[in-house]
Amino acid sequence: MKRRKFILILLLLPLIFSIHTPRAFAYDGITETIIMVTDRLDNQLIDKIVNNKDTSLGIMSTKTDGIYKNNSKESLFMTIALGKRVSVKSGLYKGLIKEDGKLRIKGYNNILNQLEDKYVDFSREIPRFGEYFKKRYIAVGCIGGGTGSLLAADKNGYIEYGEPTIKYDSKWLIDKTKELLEYTDILVVTYKTNENNERISILQSYIAQLKNYNVIIFPEAIKGDINLKWNNTLVPFVYKTPNKTNGIITSESTRRRGVITNLDIFPTVANLYKQDTNQFIGKSIKILPSTNPKQETVNLFKEFLNLNIIKYLSHGIVVIVQLYIIINYFNRRIKKDDVFTFLISSIVIGIFLSFVIGIFKFHRNILLYYIVLILLSTGISILLKDYEYYCIFFFSLLTNIFILVSNFFKREILYDSYIGYNNIVAGGRFYGLNNEIMGVLIATSIISFFFIKGLIKFKTLELTFLFFYFPIVIISLSSRFGANIGGYLTAVAVFLMMIYITLFDKAMNKRSIVILLLIGIVIFIANIFIDLNSLEKSHLGDLVIRTEILGINELIRFVTNKLKQLIFMIIVPPWSIILVSQFYFIIRVYNRNKIIIERLKEKYPDMVRASFVIFIGSIITLFVNDTGVIAFAYMNTYLISIIIGLHNIEKKDLF
């Protein structure tokens, strides 16, 4: 009998031992992770608390759901915890208390209730950060109260291991950290510096002793020297690994050196514990080599904010100049044809020059940037005064070649212009071709093709050039390169129109239309197929995969957000104003100058056709892009430049 009891005890020992072992066997040997959330983290504080020689740095976008809204702390941490952007009312988090041997987040149910009311696809069963790892036997704990503790909570708002308050003592912090890491794999630490030098010194000492862990540090709010007027989403991000890698961070979410998003934290930690990350919107953080990551990060931060200002100032200049032209163009008492031509030519020239001066980083000084840009664009326009009509075609061709070559070989050059800059602060798009540059690319491609077509004179060569050249434009907007699905669809539609004009001419019939539509559908499906089978997927490829994993609600949510953005952009000034004004100008020119247009069709048939294709293409892009109104405005900027140029030539011929 005693022998049987002894054998039974031996058999039960492994089970008993596994129950009381602090950490799961499956993750022994994997380095623990500490996520440190501070009340403040700016460039000055980074210099004080981390050793730049064994640390990777960068910038994180803290954008949550909503259009141009300030983040609440609850929104930030629920966005990280869910792995998707959400918005939660500020103040719902009520603190952290001990209850039944665990920690409980007060107000957690109110946060979940608001998410349920606001998002039809939200469910309490969706695994959030803490619950996700708990189900995989990866324990998450916390030290210190604060909204950062939302990351550690399970689906009911409980945290199994943790300390609700923090003692600002270096020894206590280290001892408590080591104690909790006996039971947990991931530890969320909320640290309040309160801009107190003693606490900053303790934080520096604490971080210095975390050499053997993965450490992520970011602030819960924008404070200190990064709290600038134009910045409401960008914060510094510190990433330390046990191998002491020194560099600058990036991820496939942004494909931008030095930039990640808050959506990248969840998959990064999941990847550390060998979990599949395909279901996440965000991507794992990568470290790139850098000789001076701190200075590079500071430079990037300044460049992003400056380009943000430059972008909107330049948009404003383009809009105001065109409104001036449109308001005065039909006033017979005002004879300023040369002024109108000069102004619109300066805009076209300025767009090309914005790429060139971006190479030399003039945008690091806003005043210098505009002095150089305005002097060069207006100066060239004055020098080429007698050739302004041809100047438009020449600079359209230069712009088109520059965009295509840069997009295929060094896309970063495009990001340093106000046309190509993706608004990193807004956080809607980080890589690829935005809708401004997409509109410019398509418009200049149309102009370039018809300009060269007019020089060829042989139909066979025209068709050869069309079928060689325009697919390059389409590919440049595809998921592999420009990653602009709306631009891709517009380019395909424009290509089909140009085939019709060049090949079918007036012999177009229903059968031809059906064939061209089928060609367009095949091209679109081929793009999706290539995207899904590529290592680097675009937004479209990721959307298809997420829809497969998360269901049709993910697609509905995506489409709904895009429609909201589209409506918002169309009705909000200044884009609503320029949209109506350009429509008015183009339609009035057509209605009042039908006789002149007929003469122009005979003398300059290719440019009249180019104008038609640009206008139809701009209407298509208006409705297939969430910010298509911007592409519409820039496409019709080139159309208006052609109209004014042709009209002036016709007037000179008449008189």
The string of pLDDT tens digits covering residues 45-90 is 999 999 878 899 999 999 998 655 567 999 999 999 999 999 999 9
How many helices (H) and strands (E) in the chain?
23, 13
User: Taking 50 as the threshold, does the pLDDT of residue 487 lie above it?
Assistant: yes
Q: Residue 105 and residue 88: Cα distance in Å, rounded?
A: 16
Looking at the DSSP assignment, which residues form a beta bridge with residue 142? 162, 188
DSSP letter, residue 359 = H
- What pLDDT sits at residue 517? 64
User: Taking 90 as the threshold, does the pLDDT of residue 248 lie above it?
Assistant: yes
Give the residue with greater pLDDT, 10 vs 370: 370
- 3-state SS, 455-515, equals HHCCHHHHHHHHHHHHHHHHHHCCCCCCCCHHHHHHHHHHHHHHHHHHHHHHHCCHHHHHH
DSSP letter, residue 274 = T
- What pLDDT sits at residue 650? 65
Q: Residue 213 and residue 223: Cα distance in Å, rounded?
A: 27
558-566 contacts at long range (C-beta below 8 A, 24 or more positions apart): 561/626, 562/626, 563/626, 564/67, 565/67, 565/428, 565/626, 565/627, 566/623, 566/625, 566/626, 566/627, 566/628
C-beta of residue 197 within 8 angstroms of C-beta of residue 40 = no
Q: Residue 272 and residue 215: Cα distance in Å, rounded?
A: 12
Residue in the structure block whose two tokens are 């449109």: 326
- What pLDDT sits at residue 24? 44
| CA dist 510 → 41, 222, 514 (Å) | 63, 59, 6
Q: Residue 42 and residue 59: Cα distance in Å, rounded?
A: 11
460: confidence class by pLDDT, cuts 50, 70, 90: confident
∠ CA 545-549-555, nearest 5°, is: 65
Burial of 292-330, coded b for 16+ CB within 10 Å and e otherwise, reads ebbebbbebbebbbbbbebbeebbebbbebbbebbeebe
Tokens of residue 127, six digits: 């695994």
Q: Which residues contact 247 (CB under 8 A, 6 or more apart)?
A: 56, 287, 288, 289, 290, 293
User: Taking 50 as the threshold, does the pLDDT of residue 20 lie above it?
Assistant: no
Tokens of residue 320, six digits: 């105001």
Work out the mean pLDDT of the chain and round it to a whole number. Answer: 86
User: Taking 90 as the threshold, does the pLDDT of residue 404 lie above it?
Assistant: yes
Q: Is 87 helix (H, G, I), strand (E, B) or coil?
A: coil
| CA dist 385 → 67, 317, 440, 640 (Å) | 43, 21, 23, 17
C-beta of residue 461 within 8 angstroms of C-beta of residue 595 = no
Tokens of residue 27, six digits: 């993750």
Q: What is the DSSP string of 588-602?
A: HHHHH-HHHHHHHHH
- 3-state SS, 552-587, equals HHHHHHHHHHHHHHHHHHHHCCCHHHHHHHHHHHHH
DSSP letter, residue 655 = -
Radius of gyration (C-alpha) of the chain in whole angstroms: 29
User: Taking 70 as the threshold, does the pLDDT of residue 29 lie above it?
Assistant: no
- What pLDDT sits at residue 446? 96
Residue in the structure block whose two tokens are 């993750």: 27
* Tens digit of each residue's pLDDT (9 = 90 or more) over 491-528: 988 998 888 888 766 544 566 656 666 766 666 666 55
For a pLDDT cut of 70, what percent of the chain falls above it?
A: 84
| Torsion angle defined by CA atoms of residues 276, 277, 279 and 285, in that order, rounded to the nearest 10 degrees | 180
Give the residue with greater pLDDT, 531 vs 321: 321
Please give the average per-residue pLDDT across 147-171, as a whole number. 95
* Tens digit of each residue's pLDDT (9 = 90 or more) over 195-241: 999 999 999 999 999 999 999 999 999 999 999 988 999 999 999 99
- What pLDDT sits at residue 67? 57
Please give the average per-residue pLDDT across 106-130, as a whole number. 87
Q: Is 193 helix (H, G, I), strand (E, B) or coil?
A: coil
- What pLDDT sits at residue 485? 85
CB neighbours (10 Å) of residue 598? 10
Q: Which residues contact 652 (CB under 8 A, 6 or more apart)?
A: none
- What pLDDT sits at residue 269? 97
C-beta of residue 60 within 8 angstroms of C-beta of residue 262 = yes
C-beta of residue 121 within 8 angstroms of C-beta of residue 155 = no
Q: Residue 569 and residue 578: Cα distance in Å, rounded?
A: 12
Q: Residue 140 and residue 514: Cα distance in Å, rounded?
A: 58
Instruction: Flag the least confident range among 29-38, 246-255, 377-386, 455-464.
Output: 455-464
C-beta of residue 223 within 8 angstroms of C-beta of residue 62 = no
pTM: 0.87
For the chain, the residue count is 655
User: 457: alpha, beta or left, given left = phi > 0 and alpha = psi -120 to 50?
Assistant: left
- 3-state SS, 319-379, equals HHHHHHHHHHHCCCCCCCHHHHHHHHHHHHHHHHHHHHHHHCCHHHCHHHHHHHHHHHHHH
The pair phi, psi for residue 91, each rounded to 5°, is: 95, 0
User: 261: alpha, beta or left, given left = phi > 0 and alpha = psi -120 to 50?
Assistant: beta
Please give the average per-residue pLDDT across 578-584, as a whole number. 93
Using omega within 30 degrees of 0 as the cis cutoff, is the peptide bond preceding 574 cis?
yes
Tokens of residue 52, six digits: 């730049």
Please give the average per-residue pLDDT across 550-579, as a whole number. 75
| Torsion angle defined by CA atoms of residues 190, 193, 199 and 200, in that order, rounded to the nearest 10 degrees | 100
- What pLDDT sits at residue 550? 59
Nearest to 227 by CA among 38, 367, 40, 89: 40
Q: Which residues contact 179 (CB under 8 A, 6 or more apart)?
A: none
DSSP letter, residue 446 = H
Q: Residue 525 and residue 541: Cα distance in Å, rounded?
A: 12
- What pLDDT sits at residue 510? 61
Highest mean pLDDT among 418-432, 434-448, 482-496, 598-612: 434-448
Nearest to 134 by CA among 108, 95, 160: 160
User: Taking 60 as the threshold, does the pLDDT of residue 16 lie above it?
Assistant: no
| Torsion angle defined by CA atoms of residues 448, 454, 460 and 465, in that order, rounded to the nearest 10 degrees | -10
First CA to last CA distance, the chain: 122
Give the residue with greater pLDDT, 436 vs 26: 436
CB neighbours (10 Å) of residue 10? 9
C-beta of residue 70 within 8 angstroms of C-beta of residue 227 = no
